[in-house]
Structure 1
């Protein structure tokens, strides 16, 4: 070994030494009278029997045996050093010496694979005149590890033509290759060949591979049959079955398999616990989730990253976000997957601000986000309508190269759409490499939110000529867009085309969209007739028409519809509040008083009007009539100034939108402190750049007086104001609104 080490320190000497060794070996073969190479009549027979050549001995060792050992030592040293270059030089010398035979070839293949030279290993494999099944297995498994399963399958099929008999190791490897390639038929064929060969297919080793393959294909019945036949079940097999059930939405079955596993005394590993915890989260089984958590602690797997990540995901899916955060706090060095899991959990549990704070901590910890992380924080920006932060995250998306990812693209579109920047949403849409129905639906809905009905219909019509076929959400999105823009004819046309299509079944929600379109257009009787054609119309349909009655002040129809609502759902909160608003808006105070008694007895509460605005990365919230904001004095002064200015321009307060029985001055004062007016006054009091657009958001629909007030303000201050209410976006500029006063 001293000589070997010395030679390795100088590659030139190594090559020279190989030449000398080769020459010496040749000389000894041809000139020595004391040795005689015993060449068998059939060289292949010698290879099959011993995988070595036989030599007459000199003392206790043969010359050829000594050469073999030297080459083995050098090959082993190359593997140790992971030196692909030196191994190639050694391989060349071996080829020149004519010394390549199965045993040495197998060691060369093994060393090449350890050094990352899978193609070099294949060259050795192809050079070998006779290859043992171990050699075939090494190459097949290596191809699969390197994600080159197609080549593994080709090699597996070569065994048929070369009369090589595959063994259990061959099949356990190739089943994974079929899974990776998604070729179930070939996998079944290999399963059949395994049976024909009479191999021990029911041991845990091969059984686990088969279970994994069938589970990956969603053939869980076949996977379970294989599992039931295996006599020595182990954790690998049971985990493969659990993962298969979980990945295909059969979480209860996964938990049953885990229960059987525990009863059989098979100890779970990190992957087992991760999978069953995910199953608990998917079906929100908090009770079993906590039981498994206790088992995780007892088994000592609580520190395992995969298990802990699944734990926090399970708790967040069960709505126990604080428990999820406690698990996260236990991480010493959380990785990207863990950070993403906790951020997604916060977003899904309505804790968007906390999710964004956590994202900032992640970036400060030098953890790069992935597509799921970015999609989650963009969803948080959408919910909070934080456009500026959304733009910053868009920059990160571009930097990380996720701008063409369709999942990130969908959330980017949604963020821009919900922040009222439909032009930017379309730019993101146009830059995507591939489209699906979800992306197209998102774009159509985004157009609908911003009142761009014609653009939505145009995109829908283009969709009809593409390979992407519309689904139920497509119809909902385009009808929503037609309703917001008052496109009655287009809505009729599209709705009728789906209704006539026997392959498409209209739902209550599709009828509700059409009722909304008709009702907002003032076609109340047509809307009512449409509802009567629906089999078993529900409260949603009648409440939609009730909302249209409020818009048009039709008290008599509202009373008639309310009777229908009470028959179906006597304590429907939304309908009672809608009717009370109709009475108030039409001055029907007597009926309102009676209804208020009913509402009080039912303990119904109306959601208070609230508006919010993002300025310098901070969200400011305003409640109707609330004067507790720290800058209330400045807001009040700004409101006074604005009202004076716009009254000069012709603004007259519309007190019909005050839903209380007050005198005119009190009504006007009530309008004064609507939440959207306070939010706009606050933004203007900041005296920011006058070219900056003001964006406000409201949880309820903007009232008619506020709509008129904002139009006058946009003209007075020369600023564009974008308001998103519960229904849509309103773009105010120069005294006009994008909705054309139709909302």
Structure 2
């Protein structure tokens, strides 16, 4: 078939492309393709089909370089019109469609090809897998075999990935069988690595290891796939064994190997191996690779070496989104919330956009610091980046508002989620638990089961905590019995501690002690929880038994000694108080000082009992005097039982006046006196019983809601009452 040059030039004009003709016909490969239209003197010679194909091939290459879908379609249309759609030209055009990302055009052209080489099949199958069209990729492979084209190592590696992405274990095993029949499993490391990766993603590490052991040619890809599999499934010890085997074989690790091993060291908190891996990383020359650096700083953060993590980050010239997120998450995990928020601001100033994981970590920092206003700003960013439907960001927002006492706002965010999972459900149940809304927590737990969301051990703990904080003793006992008798749930010491607290606080101390003895190896927390209940009810004998158990397990546990000292003080046994304090001095234990704080206009103000160092101390004192006068007229009498010092009665009353909760409340009310909004105060320990009674009356005097979060829960004071029902 001969096509005239005039016909060819007509095409070039139609696509607005100029071709400069050389003087010698065989050198068409030197054609220069431009983007402006011009005229050409046509040769009277006919151009053979092969030369026309070359010209069109050059045009296709131009489309590939530009990734222009529109021009690819124009070239395709002209190829059809001039009738030169053969296998070679078709494959190139198909590749152009793939580079342009059009799976529809690529598939349509593929089906039109008169003949398909295995390279064409492999390209299409791989392209479909890359576009997450894994089911179509598998169907293509099936069709390929039915047309008599046998798969090779490239076909199978794509098919293994397709089955793993779909989670089709049996199908993947069937494809594995085909690899065995074709003799590719043991002879080809490419196939072996893909198989190991597939079984690792299925979570069948036994099969992954068996394949790795049988493969004759082992390379870094195969070993890395095995290491990643063990790491992702929580078996860090096996991952390290594979890594050692790989190094002993003289196979050099790549950046992905190092990244996975460093993550494993972080998960195991194995600093020794982590530092050795860091040394190998430097020796390999891969320390400056962002992937390696990100994993390195994550490893140090998980091993609690935050400063080392920051040092690694400082050496990264161009940190990306993942690196910033890893650093911020590590800081939050190590209690460095202020630094995490500072780094987040740097990230935004560096024009790096956050993702849902970044914002979740920042929201967690705000919730721990009880920074409601800062959290609201992050909430606005969540909305701006359209991440409000994301389950991680959603759960973090629920947690933020819950930890700031905003139960209604937390529920509003929760209800706006597109789908509910166990994480978001647990977050909302825990919010209800913290705020004493036990019945609401139980109701949501029942709805959770109706929605088909399977509860886990965290759910169980949150529901028990909700019953605990709301004083729902019988409901809690019923829930605990149903969980304990259900083999789906594996109850831990934390679940038992929650029940010991529930029973102990309501005075059922004997039952609580019996429950502890049911636990195989009771820990310090269980015995300390019982001791705390004894402190409430003045049960000295049982408390001393609990103290003895704690001393056997952890003789330097400061919280237990403080509790026992407070118990002796509450019953006036000052000789024992002196003895306990002497013991604490001997073992160098210190009592954590009580402090309260408030956030006003994005600034945090901290108070300690009797501390008048605040610049507004005069206004605080005036406000306190006014409030004491008002609440006394309503029947307030200082409860000196909560003074744990050997003082005369008048001194005890005076000491109660200047507790940190009262100072924080007075300052917040004075500062926001013209706003009429709710105020929020926070305390690092449990709220004092006298302060609890005082704040209830203050809420009635000022006609405002006062929300107080202590170390255990929230108290919502309003119109003279508290949400806890005086049960805390």
Q: What TM-score do the two structures reach when normalised by structure 2?
A: 0.89
Higher mean displacement: 514-523 or 153-162: 514-523
Match for 2:102 among 117, 122, 128? 117
Would you say 1:682 and 2:685 are equivalent positions?
no
Would you say 1:287 and 2:272 are equivalent positions?
yes
SS in 2 for 1:435: coil
Would you say 1:359 and 2:348 are equivalent positions?
no
C-alpha deviation, 1:608, in angstroms: 1.4
Cα distance in 1 for residues equivalent to 2:342 and 2:674 = 27
Q: 1:124 to 1:457 in 2, by over 3 A?
A: closer
Summarize the alignment of residues 219-258 of structure 1 with structure 2, pairs less than 5 Å apart.
219-258=204-243
Would you say 1:662 and 2:647 are equivalent positions?
yes
Question: What's 1:89 paired with?
Answer: 74
Would you say 1:374 and 2:341 are equivalent positions?
no
C-alpha deviation, 1:182, in angstroms: 2.1
Q: Tell me how large the CA RMSD over aligned residues is.
A: 2.9
Cα distance in 1 for residues equivalent to 2:365 and 2:77 = 60
Question: What's 1:67 paired with?
Answer: 52
Q: Would the aligned equivalents of 1:7 and 1:13 in 2 still touch at CA under 8 Å?
A: no
Would you say 1:334 and 2:337 are equivalent positions?
no
Higher mean displacement: 340-349 or 325-334: 325-334
CA offset digits 1:434-478 (Å, max 9, x no partner): 223333232222112111122122223334444234333333222
C-alpha deviation, 1:687, in angstroms: 4.1
Match for 1:203 among 171, 188, 194? 188
Question: What's 1:150 paired with?
Answer: 135
Question: What's 1:384 paired with?
Answer: 369
C-alpha deviation, 1:607, in angstroms: 1.6
Aligned length: 700
Match for 1:269 among 254, 260, 267? 254
Would you say 1:11 and 2:14 are equivalent positions?
yes
Cα distance in 1 for residues equivalent to 2:239 and 2:581 = 51
Summarize the alignment of residues 293-692 of structure 1 with structure 2, pairs less than 5 Å apart.
293-501=278-486, 503-504=488-489, 506-531=491-516, 537-559=522-544, 561-563=546-548, 565-566=550-551, 572-692=557-677
C-alpha deviation, 1:413, in angstroms: 1.3
Q: 1:507 to 1:348 in 2, by over 3 A?
A: closer
Cα distance in 1 for residues equivalent to 2:228 and 2:487 = 38
Match for 1:212 among 172, 197, 218? 197
SS in 1 for 2:474: helix
Cα distance in 2 for residues equivalent to 1:223 and 1:248 = 12
Cα distance in 2 for residues equivalent to 1:373 and 1:355 = 10
Q: Would the aligned equivalents of 2:12 and 2:18 in 1 still touch at CA under 8 Å?
A: no
Cα distance in 2 for residues equivalent to 1:397 and 1:234 = 43
Q: What TM-score do the two structures reach when normalised by structure 1?
A: 0.87
C-alpha deviation, 1:504, in angstroms: 4.4
SS in 1 for 2:607: strand
Cα distance in 2 for residues equivalent to 1:196 and 1:76 = 39
SS in 2 for 1:697: strand
Q: 1:463 to 1:163 in 2, by over 3 A?
A: same
C-alpha deviation, 1:76, in angstroms: 3.1
Question: What's 1:721 paired with?
Answer: 706
Higher mean displacement: 395-404 or 92-101: 92-101
C-alpha deviation, 1:120, in angstroms: 2.3
Question: What's 1:188 paired with?
Answer: 173
C-alpha deviation, 1:113, in angstroms: 2.4
Q: Would the aligned equivalents of 2:79 and 2:85 in 1 still touch at CA under 8 Å?
A: yes
Q: 1:66 to 1:406 in 2, by over 3 A?
A: closer
Segments of structure 1 that go 5 or more residues without pairing to the other structure are: 17-59
SS in 2 for 1:722: strand
SS in 1 for 2:604: strand
Q: From the CA coordinates, give the structure whose radius of gyration is larger.
A: 1
Q: Would the aligned equivalents of 1:271 and 1:306 in 2 still touch at CA under 8 Å?
A: yes
C-alpha deviation, 1:5, in angstroms: 12
Q: Would the aligned equivalents of 2:160 and 2:172 in 1 still touch at CA under 8 Å?
A: yes
Q: Would the aligned equivalents of 2:184 and 2:191 in 1 still touch at CA under 8 Å?
A: no
SS in 1 for 2:138: helix
Q: 1:3 to 1:139 in 2, by over 3 A?
A: farther
C-alpha deviation, 1:584, in angstroms: 0.8
Higher mean displacement: 457-466 or 327-336: 457-466
Q: 1:451 to 1:354 in 2, by over 3 A?
A: same
Higher mean displacement: 149-158 or 682-691: 682-691
Cα distance in 2 for residues equivalent to 1:618 and 1:6 = 74
Q: 1:599 to 1:226 in 2, by over 3 A?
A: same
C-alpha deviation, 1:218, in angstroms: 2.3
Cα distance in 1 for residues equivalent to 2:65 and 2:531 = 79
Q: 1:159 to 1:663 in 2, by over 3 A?
A: same
C-alpha deviation, 1:277, in angstroms: 1.5
Q: Would the aligned equivalents of 2:186 and 2:216 in 1 still touch at CA under 8 Å?
A: no
Cα distance in 2 for residues equivalent to 1:679 and 1:393 = 26
Q: Would the aligned equivalents of 1:202 and 1:229 in 2 still touch at CA under 8 Å?
A: no
